[in-house]
Amino acid sequence: MQASDRFNINSQLEHLQAKYVGTGHADLNRFEWAVNIQRDSYASYIGHYPLLAYFAIAENESIGRERYNFMQGIQTLHLTGELSVQLSPDCVYNHACVVYVWFGIAHI
> Computed from CA positions of residues 47, 43, 46, 105, in that sequence, does the dihedral angle turn out positive or negative?
negative
- For the CB of residue 100, give the shortest distance to other proteins in the complex, in Å: 16
H/E run at residue 37: helix 30-47
Which one of the spans 14-22, 86-94, 99-107 is the region binding other proteins (CB under 8 A)? Answer: 14-22
What part of residues 27-86 is at the interface with other proteins (CB under 8 A)? Answer: 28, 30-31, 33-34, 37-38, 40-41, 44-45, 47, 54-55, 57-59, 80-82, 84
Contact 45, 70 (CB under 8 A): yes
Contact 21, 31 (CB under 8 A): no
Among 61, 25, 24, 59, smallest CA distance to 40 is for 24
Give residues in contact with other proteins (CB under 8 A).
4-5, 8-10, 13-14, 17, 20, 22-26, 28, 30-31, 33-34, 37-38, 40-41, 44-45, 47, 54-55, 57-59, 80-82, 84
